[in-house]
Chain A
Amino acid sequence: MHKIALTVNGQTERATVPASMTLLELLREPLHLTGTKEGCGIGECGACTVLLDGVPVTACLVLAVEADGCEVRTIEGEAGNGELSALQKAFIDAGAVQCGFCTPGMVMSARALLERNPNPSDDEIVEAVAGNLCRCTGYEAILQAVRLAAGRLQAKDEAADLLNARGTGTESVGGGKPDGK
C-alpha cells in the first residue's frame, strides 16, 4: 500500500492505495467522484478523461500512485461556486447532451483545449475530442458547443479587457474607481 496526497478540484486528498489502483478507481470509489465514467477501462473511449496537471488523460490508464503530488480536475470541479461554466452552459444550449455518459469526458477534453488554445479552429476542436466516443449525438452538437463556449469566453475576455482598459483610463484621469464612479 502507498500513501499519496493529491489535489482534486482544489481540495487536498490523502489516500492509502494499492499499487494496482487506477486514478479512475481512486476518484470513483474512495473519493465518490462518480461523474468520471468508465466506458471501456482500457483507454479507448475517453469517458474517464480528467485533467492531470492541466493535461487531459484517460484516468483508467493512470495509476493512483502516479497522481501523487499532482493536481487533478474532474467534471465535479467544472462548475465554480454553484455556477455552470461557459462550457457546461454551451453543452446545454447547443443540445450536445443526450444519454450523458460521455459528457463529463467530453467537457474535460474541451476544457483542456480551451485552456491551451482559447480560439481553436474547427479542426483543432475535432482533434481535441476525437478520442472521446459518443454513440448518441453524432458529435455535431458537441463541436458546436465547444465553438459556442470559445466564442462566449472570447467575448467575455474582450469585455473584461475593455472594462480594464476603461478602468485604467478613468483611474489615470480622476484616480477613482473603474467606471468612473
Chain B
Amino acid sequence: MASELRYVGKPASRDDAIDKVTGAARYTHDLTVPGMLHAALVTSPHAFARIVRVDTSAADALPGVRAILTGNGLCYRLGLYLQDKCILARGVVRYQGEPVVAVAADTLDIAREACRLVEVEYEPLDPVLDPRDALEKGAPLVHPDLHTYAHMEGVYFPESGTNIAHHQKVRKGDVDAAFASADVTLTAKFYNPPVQHVPMETHAAIAQALPGGRAEIWTSSQSPYTVRHLMSVCFDVPHANIRVHVPYVGGGFGGKAGLHLEPLAYVLSKAAAGRPVKVVATREEEFNTLPSRQGLHSTVEIGADRDGTIVSLKATYVWDAGAYADYGVNVGRAAAYSGAGPYVVPNCWIDSYVVYTNKIFGTAYRGFGHLEVLWGIERAIDMMTRKLDMDPVEFRRANLLREGETTITGEPFTAGHGSPVECLDAVARAIDWGTPSQPPPEPHKVRGKGIAMLHKAPAMPTYTSCAVVIKLDEDGAADLLVSGVDYGQGTYTVLRQIAAEELKIPIEKVHVTWECDTAFSPYDWQTVASRFAYMGGNAIIEAAADCLRQIRDVAARALDVAPNEIVCDDGAAFVKGQPDRRIAYAQLALGYTFENGNSIGGPVIGHGRYIATGLTHLDPKTGQGLPAQYWTYGAHGVEVEVDTQTGEIEILDIATALDAGKVLNPKLCVGQIVGGVVQGLGSALWEGFQFDENGRFLNPAFVDYKIPTAKDLPKRSQQILLENPQPGGPYGARGIAEHPMISVPSAVGNALFDAVGIEFTTLPLSYERILLRIREESEGA
C-alpha cells in the first residue's frame, strides 16, 4: 500500500451529483418503456377479513383496461426467509392496505377509475393487533397454515399453531444464579411503534413478461440480484430468464431491499399479453401497503453488583411483525445477538419473538432492530445508574466490551473491533459531560444531558458475497461494474476513490455505471447492512490488482524486462528505476502494438470478489456462534432543552462518535452522520404509526406523520470519527451508514430524564407525551 494516499481518505465529490442537480438523473419513476401500461391497486379497508366476493365486471367493461387480477389465479408464495405472502391477497386479507385487486390500463387515470368500479365484499374477522396478545393461547392465528410454509431451515424457527414466525434465543452463563446473587436488580418495559422509511421516491417497478418464461424488470430496488433470485424462485424459472435493471434510486433505508412490487408488475404484464406494466406506489400506499419498521415491546432486566459491574441481563423482545415475516425474522435474530448492548454480560438470556399481527408488515430499516432494542437497553442502563448512584458515563465505561472479554454469543473481543470506550469518551467530552447545563433564561424551561452507546454488525448470511469488474477504456480510464446500489449513501464515490488509488490513475478517470443490470453487472448479494463499502471495496482492490497484473505482463513484454521489473504509477507502466522507459495505460488497455504492427495482450478486464469468511450459524438453543464479519461501535451525547409548559423539546447539541476504522471519504462520512442523526431524531421525537381499535392506520400522509424538516434541526451537531483499523477492511474501514441514527432516541431519552426527572419508556417523545407526563408527575406530587 502506498505510504501516502492520494484519493482514499480525501473528500472526493460524488460524480452522480451533476445528474441530480440538473434533473438528468433518471429514476424508475421517470422511465417509460414502449407500450407501457399503468397499474393501480384495490387495497383492503380491513385489518383482517375473509374475502367473500370480488366483482370486477364493471371495471372490465371500462375502455382502456388491459388486465385485472385478483389473488385467486395467482398460486405463488413469496418470502425472503419464510414464504408466507401472496402477490395479491387470496381468500383472506391480513392487514389494512393489503393489495386485493390490481388493474393495468392504458393510463393511470383509467386504472384508478377501474379500481373504483371493483366491488369487494368482505366478512370482517377479529384482528389481533398487539403482538403480546398474539402470543396468548387461543389468539386468532394470522397464518393458520404456518406449518406448511417453506422457510430457511436451521436459521429460522416458525412455531406451527402459533403466531410466532421466529424465536431467537441467546443463552450464556447462569442467569438465574447471577440475578439471585446480584446486589441490585432492575426491570423495565419499553415500546417502539412501527415507523416508515419514507424514501422520497416511493417504490416503483416496471416489468415486461417475455416469451419463453422470461422477464425484464426495471425497479427502484436496493437488491437487483435478490430481486432476480426471488423472482426465479417464485415463478420457478431459471435465473437467466429474469433480467433486472436498477437505475438511480431515490432513497431506500432498507425498505427497498428484498422483493416488493416486481412480481405484481410481472403477473400484470403476463395478463396484458406482454405489454410492460408500471406500478408506482402512491405516498399513501408507501405508508400502508409497503412494509415499515417493526414495532417492539421490550422487557429488560439487569443485575449488577454494588461496585457497578453488570452480572446479568435478561431481555424479552416481542416484535410486531405485522402480517408477513419479510425481513422481520432476521431483524428479530440480529437484534437478539446484539441485544445486550456493547457490554460485558457474563450471564445473559434473551428471547426474541417475531410475532404475526394484523398490521402492516415489517422489514429492514436502517439500524435493523438495533435502534429498537437499544432504546430499551440504553435507557435501562441509565435507570440502573440511579439505583447504584453512579455516573452514567462511569458505569458504561466500567462495563463496555474490552479486549479479553467475549460478546454474548461467545465472540472474543479484540483490538481489531475498534474502541467503544473511545467513542464514549469522545461524546462525553464533546457535550462537556460532568458540567451541568447552563440554566435557560426562561424559568419554565429546563435542560439536561444524556449519553447512549451503539453497536451493530452487518446482519447477513454466512456466505454473503459480491464481485466487481473493472474494464479499462481506450484512453486508459477505468469503468467499474458493480451491482451494489448507490441509492444516496455515496458508496460509488468511495469505490472510485479506492480504484483510483489502486490503479494509480486520477479519480476523474474512474467511472461507475449508474445502472445496475443483472445481465452485465457482476453478482452482489444486496445493498444493505452497511457492508457495501467494506465488501465492494475489498473486491475493487482485488480487481485492480488483477488489472495491474495484466498491464505489467504486457508492459514487460513490450519493454523486454521481467514483469516484476515493471512499476505502475501515474497512469503508466515503467521499468523500475527508469521512469523514461514507460508505456501509458492508454497504449496497454486494449493490448499493445509494436512499431511493426505486431500486437500482444488484449483488452484489460479485472475481476475481484469478496465473501464473508469464518461466520457460523447460531446454535438454535443458545445463540452461540460468530454472526458478525465486523462490528461498528459508537456513541451519542445529547443536550436538550424542554419547555415544561408545552412539552416542546429542543436538541441544543448532539455529538456522534463512530469508530470507522478508516474514514474513506470524510465529506461523505459526515454527510451520512448528519443525515442519520436527523433521521434518528425523527424516530425519537415525532414518528410512529397510529392505528384505531380495528387496526386501521390513522396517519398515512405527511400531514399526520411528521418527518423532520429543515426547521427541526439540532442547534448543533458534532461528528467525531475514530480510526482504529479493522483487520480485513479496505484500508481498515468499517461500515458506518446505519449507525448514526441507532441510539439517538436513547440518548435523547436519557437527556430528557436529566432535564425533567421522568423516565420515558415509549417512543416517540412527542411534545404531547412529554407534557402529559410532566403534568401527571406534578399532579401526583
**A interface list, Cβ under 8 A from B:** 20, 28, 33-42, 44-45, 47, 74-76, 78-79, 84, 88, 91-93, 95, 97-104, 107, 126-127, 129-143
In contact, A39 and B24 (Cβ under 8 angstroms): no
In contact, B23 and A45 (Cβ under 8 angstroms): no
Separation of A88 and B13 alpha carbons in the complex (Å): 13
Q: Which of B17, B24, B201, B202 contacts A92 (CB 8 A)?
A: B17
In contact, B201 and A37 (Cβ under 8 angstroms): yes
Q: Which of A33, A45, A131 contacts B200 (CB 8 A)?
A: A45
A42-B283, A101-B250, A140-B713 given; A74·B18 CB < 8 A: no
A135-B253, A138-B674 given; A35·B23 CB < 8 A: yes
In whole Å, how far is A5's beta carbon from the nearest beta carbon of chain B?
Answer: 23
Q: Which of A74, A101, A126 contacts B201 (CB 8 A)?
A: A101
In contact, A39 and B678 (Cβ under 8 angstroms): no
Which segment of B1-9, B265-273, B472-480, B487-495 sits at the interface?
Answer: B487-495
Q: Is B29 an interface residue (CB 8 A)?
A: yes
In whole Å, how far is B476's beta carbon from the nearest beta carbon of chain A?
Answer: 26
Q: Which of A28, A35, A47, A138 contacts B679 (CB 8 A)?
A: A138
In contact, B23 and A99 (Cβ under 8 angstroms): no
Q: Is B19 an interface residue (CB 8 A)?
A: yes
Separation of A141 and B678 alpha carbons in the complex (Å): 12
Closest to B11 in A: A95
Chain A residues whose C-beta falls within 8 Å of the C-beta of B489 in the assembled complex: 98
The dominant DSSP class at the A interface is loop
Separation of A26 and B327 alpha carbons in the complex (Å): 39
Chain A residues whose C-beta falls within 8 Å of the C-beta of B200 in the assembled complex: 37, 39, 45, 47, 99, 101-102, 133-136
In contact, B283 and A41 (Cβ under 8 angstroms): yes
Q: Is B438 an interface residue (CB 8 A)?
A: no
In contact, B677 and A38 (Cβ under 8 angstroms): no
In whole Å, how far is A44's beta carbon from the nearest beta carbon of chain B?
Answer: 4
Closest to B679 in A: A135
Chain B residues whose C-beta falls within 8 Å of the C-beta of A95 in the assembled complex: 13-14, 667-668, 670-671
Chain A residues whose C-beta falls within 8 Å of the C-beta of B670 in the assembled complex: 95
Separation of A136 and B675 alpha carbons in the complex (Å): 5
In contact, B717 and A100 (Cβ under 8 angstroms): no
In whole Å, how far is B713's beta carbon from the nearest beta carbon of chain A?
Answer: 6
Q: Which of B250, B675, B710 contacts A129 (CB 8 A)?
A: B710
Chain A residues whose C-beta falls within 8 Å of the C-beta of B26 in the assembled complex: 34
Chain B 295-341 residues near chain A, CB threshold 8 A: none
Q: Which 10 A-B pairs have the closest CB atoms?
A: A35-B23, A100-B20, A101-B250, A99-B488, A138-B678, A75-B23, A98-B488, A34-B30, A44-B702, A101-B200
Closest to B19 in A: A100
A37-B29, A44-B701, A101-B201 given; A126·B251 CB < 8 A: no
Q: 21 A-B Cβ contacts within 8 A?
A: A37-B200, A40-B283, A44-B702, A75-B22, A78-B21, A92-B14, A92-B17, A97-B16, A98-B488, A100-B488, A101-B201, A126-B710, A130-B710, A130-B711, A133-B702, A134-B710, A135-B198, A135-B199, A135-B251, A137-B674, A143-B710
In whole Å, how far is B64's beta carbon from the nearest beta carbon of chain A?
Answer: 14
In whole Å, how far is A136's beta carbon from the nearest beta carbon of chain B?
Answer: 5
Separation of A92 and B17 alpha carbons in the complex (Å): 6
In contact, A38 and B29 (Cβ under 8 angstroms): yes
Closest to B26 in A: A34
A107-B21, A135-B200, A138-B679 given; A99·B250 CB < 8 A: yes
In whole Å, how far is A61's beta carbon from the nearest beta carbon of chain B?
Answer: 14
Chain B residues whose C-beta falls within 8 Å of the C-beta of A34 in the assembled complex: 23, 26, 29-30
Chain B residues whose C-beta falls within 8 Å of the C-beta of A45 in the assembled complex: 200, 283, 702
Chain B 191-227 residues near chain A, CB threshold 8 A: 197-202
Closest to B665 in A: A95
In contact, A136 and B251 (Cβ under 8 angstroms): yes
In whole Å, how far is B256's beta carbon from the nearest beta carbon of chain A?
Answer: 11
In whole Å, how far is A48's beta carbon from the nearest beta carbon of chain B?
Answer: 11
Chain B residues whose C-beta falls within 8 Å of the C-beta of A130 in the assembled complex: 709-711
A98-B489, A99-B199 given; A88·B710 CB < 8 A: no
A91-B21, A103-B20 given; A140·B717 CB < 8 A: yes
In contact, A76 and B23 (Cβ under 8 angstroms): yes
Separation of A33 and B676 alpha carbons in the complex (Å): 31
Q: Is B61 an interface residue (CB 8 A)?
A: no
Q: Which of A40, A97, A126, A137 contacts B14 (CB 8 A)?
A: A97
Separation of A145 and B199 alpha carbons in the complex (Å): 22
Chain B CB count within 10 A is highest, among A88, A103, A141, for: A103
Separation of A139 and B671 alpha carbons in the complex (Å): 10
Chain B residues whose C-beta falls within 8 Å of the C-beta of A101 in the assembled complex: 27, 199-201, 250-251
Task: Knowing that A92-B13, A133-B198, A135-B197 touch, tell me 9 more A-B residue pairs with CB under 8 angstroms.
Answer: A34-B26, A45-B200, A78-B23, A99-B201, A100-B16, A101-B201, A129-B710, A138-B676, A140-B713
Closest to A101 in B: B250
